[in-house]
Amino acid sequence: MLHLAKFVHLTSVLSFVRRLDYQICVTQMGEYRLGILGSGKGSNMVAIAEACRAGRIPAQIAIVLSDVAEAGILQQAERFGVPFAHIPPGKYRTKLDEDAERSYIERLTEARVDLIVLAGFMRILKGDFLKAFANRVVNIHPSLLPAFPGLEAWKQALDHGVKVTGCTVHFVDQGVDSGPIVAQQTVSVHEADTPQTLHARIQQAERELYPKVLGALAEGRIAVKGRQTIWR
Ligand code: GRF
């Protein structure tokens, strides 16, 4: 019965693929492997790990990597019993140097990841990394893109005076926060908001949105055609 379910799932996924440019996930259910990269405290990683445990994301976290040795995300990975490693970023401030980039690619390849999930990774990923994992890198950004790309998006939103902001899950391309948008969740801006209070509400929305999107990706329910992402 289980076999038949898998077969039916795979057949419908494959026929879906034929109608689109490419499919993000063609893998058997439950075997989808996530590689998570982060530099911060890891609240998104915790939400993802809890959703994997609860079966809301039919996937497992294969590895967690960080460029910051003392990052909370690594401690959280340890707490969840997930493999993790610190890989130093090398000589640049905002991106990985060539050796570091190679090490990240090697570790993620060894871990046989299907999807790279950026969760507060503070380095720009370019060239070889994106070639190695073409169309398989997603990110969460704390604004409704294309508004307010880059750093401290919640502060940019507040300074601009918008009434609604939110968060966006998008595929990663060569630009800054510019890849195809997969999903967005809105957050109202209150008159009394400070950057801290607004950021906290956006992060709460992130912890709801990211697991939902990763669940759909792991189930093969999202495909990309040009800039459009298609859910079914
Ligand atoms: C999130 O707010 C995300 O939008 C940004 O980095 C932050 C990471 O937070 N890209 P955490 O480490 O997941 O708590």
- Whole-number Å distance, alpha carbon 136 to ligand 1 midpoint, is 19
Ligand 1 atom 10 nearest Cα: 120
Segments of the chain assigned E as strands: 22-23, 32-37, 59-66, 84-86, 115-118, 137-141, 164-171, 181-188, 222-225, 228-231
User: Which domains, ranges and CATH numbers included, belong to the chain?
Assistant: 23-231 (3.40.50.170)
Burial class (CB in 10 A: 0-12, 13-18, 19+), 221: middle
Cα Rg, the chain, nearest whole Å: 18
Ligand 1 pocket mutation pick from 118, 140, 197 by most atoms within 8 angstroms of CB: 140
Whether 44 lines ligand 1, by a CB cut-off of 6 Å, is yes
Full pLDDT tens readout for the chain, 232 residues: 333 333 334 444 444 433 444 444 444 454 899 999 999 999 999 999 999 999 999 999 999 999 999 999 999 999 999 999 999 999 999 999 999 999 999 999 999 999 999 999 999 998 899 999 999 999 999 999 999 999 999 999 999 999 999 999 999 999 999 999 999 999 999 999 999 999 999 999 999 999 999 999 999 999 999 999 999 9
Q: Check residue 150 and give its pLDDT.
A: 96
pLDDT at 7: 37
What is the DSSP secondary structure assignment for residue 49, as one 8-state letter?
H
Q: What is the DSSP string of 165-204?
A: EEEEEEE--SSSS-SPEEEEEEEEPPTT--HHHHHHHHHH
Pocket flag, ligand 1, residue 38 (CB < 6 Å)? yes
